[in-house]
């Protein structure tokens, strides 16, 4: 006699939409998907948006933002910005600046950065010279890449993949459209249904602090350009390439002394089929992350549910940079994991 086969359903694969909003989660981002689970859980489940705004910054990040700002001021016809009335991101026409105006405007903002410790102060003092040099390298590169095309910076991308529940949201560094295509659509601010000619993801590197000299000043190494793209950067770019379907996707690396541009013509990773593989890596992370969030959905007490999620995550306090959020929040995280 044959026994009836019973199919055991995995409760984490139910077709019903999980109520992730109870945890304050309503989307993924290409950046947060690259965080280890424990770091993600502390940042986005334990901490509020107000908390995250109080995390310590770092000079490297502020320097990279300054370079991106200057290049968008110089080349963008449209920059997506927060609308002060609606409190939502919206495309805004940009007054295109000259090279020197763009550098001055970006550096004015960068000088307002407040270093978080003595080493960060030394980096800030050094980068006051290195950032403008890096911007000038970018002006050469993007002058050729942008040409007379319609350039949109910080374009909001909201993409839903049918293999996951939540959408993935991100903002492009540079989306370069054909001005002819936009005119044919009578687009006033560059919100176009047509595919971009190219999207460019911008990455910057700056000198690393070395040992102090005999006179007490800090020496810095020269930033090096990569010979191959960083896999995490390829994942980020793959998301934009999948969502926007550009003709070409490019990774642009800048230092004070030079630049390196990776594209499908000189890098196999950026060929469409290979870039798709990096996108699928991102989707697999999103699927696993959603399973993690859904695992304790049956618990009514939100605080207890959050702690159970944390219990399932490795803290990875030895990570080289993701926990640079300030001692106050770092100590909170360590105390949290101690209690589990």
Buried b (16+ CB within 10 A) or exposed e, 117-145: eeebebbbebbeebbbebbebbbebbeeb
Query: CA-CA distances (angstroms) from residue 187 to 183, 243, 249?
Result: 6, 20, 23
Does pLDDT of 154 surpass 70?
yes
pLDDT of residue 4: 39
pLDDT of residue 70: 98
Tell me which DSSP letter residue 70 carries.
H
Query: CA-CA distances (angstroms) from residue 90 to 68, 78, 183, 199?
Result: 18, 10, 20, 19
The model carries a pTM of 0.90
Write out pLDDT tens, residues 107-153.
999 999 999 999 999 999 999 999 999 999 999 999 999 999 999 99
Write out pLDDT tens, residues 162-202.
999 999 999 999 999 998 766 554 454 555 568 899 999 99
Mean pLDDT of 286-302: 93
Write out pLDDT tens, residues 43-101.
999 999 999 999 999 999 999 999 999 999 999 999 999 888 888 889 999 999 999 99
């Amino acid at each position: 006699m044959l026994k009836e086969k019973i199919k055991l359903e995995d409760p984490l694969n139910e077709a019903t939409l999980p109520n992730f909003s109870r945890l304050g989660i309503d989307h993924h981002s290409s950046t947060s998907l690259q965080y280890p689970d424990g770091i993600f859980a502390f940042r986005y489940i334990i901490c509020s948006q107000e908390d995250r705004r109080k995390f310590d910054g770092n000079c490297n990040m502020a320097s990279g933002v300054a370079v991106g700002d200057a290049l968008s001021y110089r080349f963008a016809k449209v920059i997506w910005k927060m609308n002060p009335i609606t409190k939502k991101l919206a495309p805004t026409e940009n007054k295109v600046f000259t090279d020197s105006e763009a550098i001055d405007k970006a550096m004015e903002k960068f000088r307002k950065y407040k270093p978080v410790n003595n080493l960060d102060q030394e980096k800030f003092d050094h980068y006051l010279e290195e950032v403008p040099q890096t911007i000038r390298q970018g002006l050469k590169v993007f002058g050729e890449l942008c040409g007379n095309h319609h350039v949109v910076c910080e374009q909001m991308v909201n993409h839903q993949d049918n293999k996951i529940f939540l959408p993935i949201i991100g903002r492009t560094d540079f989306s370069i459209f054909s001005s002819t295509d936009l005119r044919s659509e009578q687009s006033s601010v560059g919100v176009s249904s047509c595919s971009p000619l190219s999207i460019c993801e911008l990455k910057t590197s700056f000198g690393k602090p070395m040992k102090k000299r005999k006179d007490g000043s800090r020496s810095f190494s020269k930033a090096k350009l990569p010979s191959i793209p960083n896999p995490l950067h390829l994942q980020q770019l793959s998301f934009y390439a999948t969502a926007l379907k550009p003709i070409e996707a490019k990774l642009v690396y800048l230092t004070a002394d030079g630049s390196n541009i990776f594209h499908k013509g000189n890098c196999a990773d950026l060929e469409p089929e290979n870039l798709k593989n990096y996108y699928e890596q991102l989707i697999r992370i999103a699927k696993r992350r959603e399973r993690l969030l859904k695992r304790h959905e049956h618990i009514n007490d939100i605080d207890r549910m959050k702690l159970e999620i944390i219990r399932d995550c490795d803290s990875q306090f030895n990570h080289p940079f993701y926990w640079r959020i300030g001692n106050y929040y770092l100590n909170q995280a360590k105390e949290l994991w101690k209690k589990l």
